[in-house]
Amino acid sequence: MTTTARRTVYLDHAATTPMLPAAIEAMTSHLGRTGNASSLHGSGRAARRTVEESRETIAEALNAQPSEVVFTSGGTEADNLALKGLWWARLADNPARRRILLGGIEHHAVLDPAIWLAQHEGAEIEWLPVDELGRVQPDSVAEAIAKDPESVSFVTLMMANNEVGTLQPIQEIAAIAATHDIPVHTDAVQAIGQVPVDFVSLGADAMTVSAHKLGGPYGIGALVVRKETKLAPILHGGGQERDVRSGTLDAPATAGFAVALEYSIKHQEDEARRLTELRDALIRGVVDAAPGAKLSGDPVGRLPNNAHLSFSGCEGDSLLLLLDARGIEVSTGSACNSGVAEPSHVLLAMGYDDQRARGSLRFTLGHTSTRADIDAVLDNIGPVVERAKSAGLQNVGRNN
């Protein structure tokens, strides 16, 4: 007897999205070639040409200068380079610059280096208030700066939240900071390819990008840094990448990165329209099928591919595993720390209570998503929520 393999419904594109065929082709075409981009012989020059052509493609897509694109191993390294590099460079110019302004909704790739700087380098973290939609208001940034502009090292604020999808007013905040010559870093990992991003118009001094969120390869990203912005290196060695990020450059990965980014930017408007329709159908259907389900984040100013919902009376982890058993892969709003599920720090910062922060799911769509994927969720979400609620009630009964 033969069995038909069950189709997997993948709705966790914010975690990573499948590589685009064109990016796979670009990357694999270079994998069999030998050459270190720092070598002066023919093979080295060929590798360097691949890297620099990729850099030019990425810069053009983001409206930056090629020299402003610093390749890294991914978004986490780019965020660390931005925060630590800005901190040490600014401190060297003025030892009084010890305040870091950031919101409590940041990705851990930003939160953790900021906290590390506070614990080991004497940084003073000032948490910017976040409203119930997950947004930092420009006025609150202006007020924080106005207390003592000379003591501010930098401002860091993500362009789009990775959990609830809320978009931040980066352009307005960057304009406020610029009046005091305070640099602004933004983690744009979730935003690029989803919404229009123009580095010049944005006004930020540094911007983080990651390839695998765009249909490119794992293990490569970039920090886009204005030419006049000073950064202290956190990796030392061969002096590659403007002497702020030493290390042998991955020519095949840069090629795949460039193709994926160029494709995502070129098709951004049409894809955003398509994903918004699917996302809205998903939100309406889930709210109808699961009484008590509520949308998190800004209902309007959000990423086109993000549907983050909380469910009363059940745990997000239970919902995730029950959906996974039915072949539907999503993400929970909880972060797993040493095997212990904790409430999402993003939702807690937005003022959610502990139960709602634990009982959330994030559905994120991408270039492989279809209406059939949405229908699969809607066919299963009602029974899954009911089962999760029953399991929660049974656990409460056993604990009493």
List beta partners, residue 101. Answer: 126, 155
Which residues are within 8 A (CB) of 124 and not within 5 positions of it... i.e. 6 or more apart?
98, 99, 100, 118, 151
Identify the CA nearest to 93 among candidates 142, 44, 146, 154.
Answer: 154
User: Residue 336 catalytic?
Assistant: yes
Angle at 122 between CA 118 and CA 123, to 5 degrees: 55
**Amino acid in the structure at residue 172:** E
How many Å apart are CA 286 and CA 289, to the nearest integer? 5
Identify the CA nearest to 153 among candidates 109, 121, 112, 192.
Answer: 121
Write out the H or E segment, with its range, that includes residue 124: strand 124-128
Secondary structure (3-state) at 216: coil
Pairs from 383-391 (Cβ < 8 Å, separation ≥ 24): 384/319, 384/322, 384/323, 384/326, 385/289, 385/290, 385/293, 385/311, 385/314, 385/319, 387/322, 388/311, 388/314, 388/315, 388/318, 388/319, 388/322, 389/313, 389/314, 391/314, 391/318
Q: List the structure tokens of 112.
A: 């953790």
How many Å apart are CA 195 and CA 105, to the nearest integer? 19
Cβ atoms of 183 and 157 within 8 Å: the answer is no
Secondary structure (3-state) at 300: coil
Task: Count CA atoms within 13 Å of residue 105 on its CB side.
Answer: 31
Q: Which of 175, 200, 325, 336 is catalytic?
A: 336
Catalytic amino acids?
A: 336
